[in-house]
Structure 1
Amino acid sequence: MEYLNWDDSENWMTGSGICLWSGVSCHRRHGSPPDEIRYDNNNGVTRLNLTSNDVRGTLPREIFTALTDLRVLHLDGNELTGTIPSELGNLGRLEQLHLGSNFFSGTLPSSAGRLSECRYLFAGDNYLTGTVPTEIGRMSSLTELGLHENDLTGNVPTELGLLGRLDSAYLDSNGLSGTVPTELGRLRSVTDLRLRRNELTGTVPTELGNMESLEVLYLDGNGLGGTVPTELGRLGNLDQIFLYKNQLTGTLPTELGLLSDLDHVYLDHNLLTGTIPTEFAGLSDVRDLFLYNNRLTGPIPPRAVAGMKDLVRLRLHNNTLTGTVPSELGELSHLVELELQENGLGGRVPSELAGLVNLVTLKMHSNGITGTVPESICDLQSRYRLDEITTDCASGGVVCPCCTECV
């Protein structure tokens, strides 16, 4: 690693003791002076932190052979290249390994499985290839795993289900294939699971409903099929569920309405059918509800709308919804986006929508809506934030003096 042009290379390769080098920390015997350890005495080094320090070049193998007492290695946010040495496994006392946001290539060494005391392993945002080593399942102390935004391929190892202390797993934005392992359902402590933007197929395992601590579930951008498991309704701590851009079929589980802590629900760009459950009234904390680009039918249930008081963005467009636009939408005072276009809705534009003082986008075109857009709704443009409003005013079905686009 070239040190001359680092942002902070204070005392490096000088006569000062190695423990005075910028980013280096050491053990010291009780009462010993800071300069007791000389720069060529490596036995006491426990921490090397060079995060975002403009460090370049390759990773010296000597770090992993000479600094055997190392507990913390932070090299993230630099411009390091080359491979991660297989000697990584020699650091048996390592607790934190941060190699993310560099230019590392090659594979993640299977010797990482020997890091039994390591709690944090981050190597995301690199150019790593090959598979996720099954040996990671031996890292019994691991709480956070970050291998996102690489070029990893192969299956998601079933051995991840052995990591009983795991809290977060970021394997998103790779080329992983195969199915989502049912063994992940054993991970009762995981709060954040991200497998998005891979090439995963198969179904969403029902066993994920056993992950009782789960708060964030990102499976979007894969090729998953089958139905949305009703078992997900058991995840009482779930805050975000991203299943969009898959090939999910079947109906929306009424059990999702039990998840009162849900904040973001993204189920768009699938092949979902059936109606929007009235039970969604239980989504009292939801801010984003994206169900667009599916094959949903039936009316927009007024009771469900009335229960979602914190709703900010509602996107139901490009389905086959029928009935009228519920007047209850006008009670959603936080609503910023309302997209109902490209459905089979009829009736008139309810005047109650004039209560949406935070509304920025209102799209209702390509429906069967008729009549005149109430003046009170048009007033939202001049008095509040409404910036975009589209209806079928080009065909004469709707009279809209304030529409920004007539379809």
Structure 2
Amino acid sequence: MRIVVAFVFITIATINISFCRRSSSVGCLQSERLALLRFKQDLIDPANRLVSWTSGVEDCCIWSGIVCDNLTGHVLELNLRTAPLNEYATPAEDEAYERIPRFLGSMQNLRYLNLSLNSFQGVIPPQLGNLSNLQVLCMGDYWRSMLPVENFWWLSRLSFLKHLDLDGVDLSNSSDWLQVIHTLPSLVVIKLSYCKLHHFPPKPIANFSSLASLDLSGNHFEGPIPDGLQNLTSCRHLDLSYNLFNSSMPSWLYRLRNLEELFLWGNFLQGSMDGLGNLSSIKALDLSQNNFEGGMPVSFGRLCNLRSIFLVGDRLNEEISQALNIFSKCVAKVVESLDFTDAHLFGPLTYQLGRFKNLKSLSLVNNSISGPIPRSLGELSSLEILYLSYNQFNGTLSEIHFNNLTRLIGLGASGNSLTFKFPPQWVPPFKLLFTGTLSPSIGSLTSLQSLNLRKNNFVGEVPLSLQNCTKLVKLDLGENEFVGSVSAWIGERFSRIKILILRSNKFQGLLPRELCHLTSLQILDLAYNNLFGNIPRCISNFSTMMRKSEMDDDIEYLSNDYFNLSFIEDALLVNKGEMAKYSTILKFVRKIDLSKNNFSGGIPMGVTDLSTLQSLNLSHNSLTGKILENIGAMSSLESIDFSGNQLSGEIPQSISNLTFLSVLNLSNNKLSGRIPSSTQLRTFSASSFTGNELCGPPLSNNCTVSVPNRGEKERNEDGVDWFYVSMALGFVVGFWSFIGPLFFNRRWRCMYFQFLNRLQDKLGSVKDVISGYDICTNFHLSLALK
């Protein structure tokens, strides 16, 4: 069984507080040392992180992850935290998990226990109720709900508990959960999200009066918001999201004047939101995905501490200007995030937008807002996220709208009728991280020469309008979520392109032959996609990869003088297995990377014409056939990776001619035979050749030639192998038995060649072979042997 310990952090109470250093003669307590060794026995440590935990080392205070008190030697902390798990990952069907060790309940001085984000299974052991000094208990992991609780009363013995996090723990069979929590007077934080809770008693819970934070989101509560919560007079954080509440807002909710964060999204609440305007301390308000009526309440204008408000999917049915006008006084000065996505807003966006000086995020996606975008947008100097997609905006966006948006990292404006118009010399004052689909308006930038959209969250297909950007020299769409096929128009329209990077997307289908028209291409990176079929033979058309470039032959990436003077083009490339940034030497790089696709067929012969290619990666495809015999002609190659294919045959001897080769990986194919015996190839490790049927250095298995048993029997004491001697003599006797009569007997010669003449009528080839010689009188042995 296996345990992945993601986070364990234990603090044990100390007896004295001292600033003195621990004496070297003081080690950890023997009882705690034995407890730690027992704890290790219950774990499987695949990363070998507990290698220092051994009985041979007496002082456990020097063990990995252990922190002791400097004076007493008591263990204070046990920190085995590793990298966080993928929150969306689910356990494999055959994956086994360990139960929470029961002996943890013997650590009665424990104050802090965090077992969240682990892979424990089984019932939570009631022995944890012995941790009478515990103040913090965290066992939450709502992505891996594996910890059911059948009897919850052990928790009532933790009278000092202040922080309880059981997110994702299955409490569906614990009908007494609320009564137990009621017995814990010191609780300040309760997190019970996604616990499959479904019942909440109607009577008020008195001990909730000291609670500062309550999270009951993601459960199965339904009906009205329970009145049992009305004593949350000290509560600052209340999350009831993603339940089945379907009533109007209870009046007692408006009296929670200390409330700073209220999350009610994903319910079926109805009626007016007006009373929420009395929550004068509120900073974050999420009312999304409900059935509220009456539009934006005017009372919201009194929420002078409001930092963020989310009304996603609520049917406001009012003009955007009216909604913004409600916030135009004190709220506009402090609010940082407004999300009105799909909120049924309409009308023009007016100058009021410029009042929100501290706004960092604005989303108006999927409404019916119309007209031009006001120039006052440019006054929002704190803006980081701006999403305006799928409205009815029109007009032009220019540098006036963006010159002051120095912090902008996200911009979405697709699904409108906007035109982007910027002077050629304009340099954006921000660097975007783009999400959503790439706007069709990108095609209006007809003078665009370099487009770098790498590592964003773009989805969908590459817009057809991009083919209007015929002056592109560099196109980098790598590390996004683009789908569809690699368009043929890339090869037809981008005749100047030198760098084409579509790496790490979801492109699929055949690779179009039109790409072979890109004769200026020097970097082609299509790795990590779903492309299939044969690699086009016309790959040899990449003429820039065929000729040597002199150092003084400065390849102009951008023809505009301003750009040439202002910056040097750069690109992120994977070379020799590592990602690196290339800038000043980029113009000298020649690289093809088609790895991690589904290409089949053989390696195209034309690739060996690319004599200046420096890196060729075709790994992890389904390529068959042999490694090209004349691969040694690619004299500039520094890196070859053909691993993870189905290549067969021998490694060609010519590969020894690649004197610049520093990376070679031919592993996991069907190659056979002897590895060429050159000094160059012997510098590579055995891992470059494993997973084949190869032999010879650097592999440990030597190549051996088996000698026939018959020859062994006929070998005499002097070491003469009479098998081979007799075979040679037999050939000589047989040869002259046939040739001798022809050579010395004129009659036999004539009869033999007359026979060949008769065959001539049937085969039509003998006359050409003898080339007009007189076969009876002018016969030459040399001719006959031909």
The verdict on a shared fold, with TM-score over 0.5 as the criterion, is yes
Q: Where do residues 88-167 of structure 1 align in structure 2 (5 Å cutoff)?
A: 94-107=187-200, 109-112=202-205, 115-167=208-260
Which structure's residues are more often helix, by fraction? 2
**Aligned residue among 395, 399, 403 for 1:298:** 395
Q: Report the equivalent of 1:380.
A: 474
Q: Percent identity?
A: 19
Q: Tell whether the 8 Å contact from 2:241 to 2:267 is kept in structure 1 after alignment.
A: no
Q: Report the equivalent of 1:326.
A: 422
The one-letter code matched in structure 2 to 1:78 is V
Partner SS state of residue 209, structure 2: coil
Partner SS state of residue 116, structure 1: helix
CA distance in 2, matches of 1:380, 1:207: 53
Query: What RMSD in Å do the two structures reach over aligned CA positions?
Result: 4.6
Q: Where do residues 6-25 of structure 1 align in structure 2 (5 Å cutoff)?
A: 6-10=99-103, 12=105
Q: Tell whether the 8 Å contact from 1:204 to 1:225 is kept in structure 2 after alignment.
A: no
Q: Tell whether the 8 Å contact from 1:155 to 1:176 is kept in structure 2 after alignment.
A: no
Q: Does 1:168 align with 2:258?
A: no
**Residue deviations 1:354-382 (CA, integer Å, cap 9, x gap):** 57656666999588x9x95262xx23326
Q: Tell whether the 8 Å contact from 2:372 to 2:394 is kept in structure 1 after alignment.
A: yes
Q: Does 1:204 align with 2:292?
A: no
Q: Tell whether the 8 Å contact from 1:330 to 1:355 is kept in structure 2 after alignment.
A: no
**Residue deviations 1:128-160 (CA, integer Å, cap 9, x gap):** 323222453432100111222333332333433
Q: Report the equivalent of 1:213.
A: 305
Give the CA deviation at 1:167.
1.8
Greater relative contact order (Cα < 8 A, sep 6+)? 1
Give the CA deviation at 1:214.
2.2
- Structure 1: segments with no counterpart, 5+ residues: 25-38
Q: Tell whether the 8 Å contact from 2:451 to 2:475 is kept in structure 1 after alignment.
A: no
CA distance in 2, matches of 1:297, 1:265: 18
Q: Tell whether the 8 Å contact from 2:337 to 2:361 is kept in structure 1 after alignment.
A: yes
The one-letter code matched in structure 1 to 2:166 is L
Q: Tell whether the 8 Å contact from 1:214 to 1:235 is kept in structure 2 after alignment.
A: no
**Residue deviations 1:150-207 (CA, integer Å, cap 9, x gap):** 33332333433222211212222x3222145222223332222222233434312233
The one-letter code matched in structure 1 to 2:415 is N
Partner SS state of residue 333, structure 2: coil
Deviates more, 1:117-126 or 1:312-321: 312-321
Give the CA deviation at 1:331.
1.5
Q: Does 1:266 align with 2:358?
A: no
CA distance in 1, matches of 2:202, 2:102: 29
Q: Does 1:275 align with 2:375?
A: no
Q: Report the equivalent of 1:34.
A: none
Larger radius of gyration: 2
Q: Does 1:227 align with 2:322?
A: no
Q: Does 1:81 align with 2:172?
A: yes
CA distance in 2, matches of 1:394, 1:254: 45
The one-letter code matched in structure 1 to 2:305 is S
Rate the CA distance shift 1:383–1:207 in 2: closer, same or farther, 3 A: closer
Q: TM-score, normalised by structure 1?
A: 0.72
Q: Tell whether the 8 Å contact from 1:158 to 1:184 is kept in structure 2 after alignment.
A: no
The one-letter code matched in structure 1 to 2:137 is N
Q: Tell whether the 8 Å contact from 1:232 to 1:255 is kept in structure 2 after alignment.
A: no
- Structure 2: segments with no counterpart, 5+ residues: 1-97, 115-126, 508-786
Rate the CA distance shift 1:10–1:204 in 2: closer, same or farther, 3 A: farther
**Residue deviations 1:66-98 (CA, integer Å, cap 9, x gap):** 777765444334222244655355655543322
**Aligned residue among 365, 386, 410 for 1:289:** 386
Q: Does 1:52 align with 2:147?
A: no
CA distance in 2, matches of 1:103, 1:389: 37
CA distance in 2, matches of 1:300, 1:95: 50
Q: Report the equivalent of 2:445.
A: 349
The one-letter code matched in structure 2 to 1:187 is L
CA distance in 2, matches of 1:80, 1:337: 41
CA distance in 1, matches of 2:243, 2:205: 17
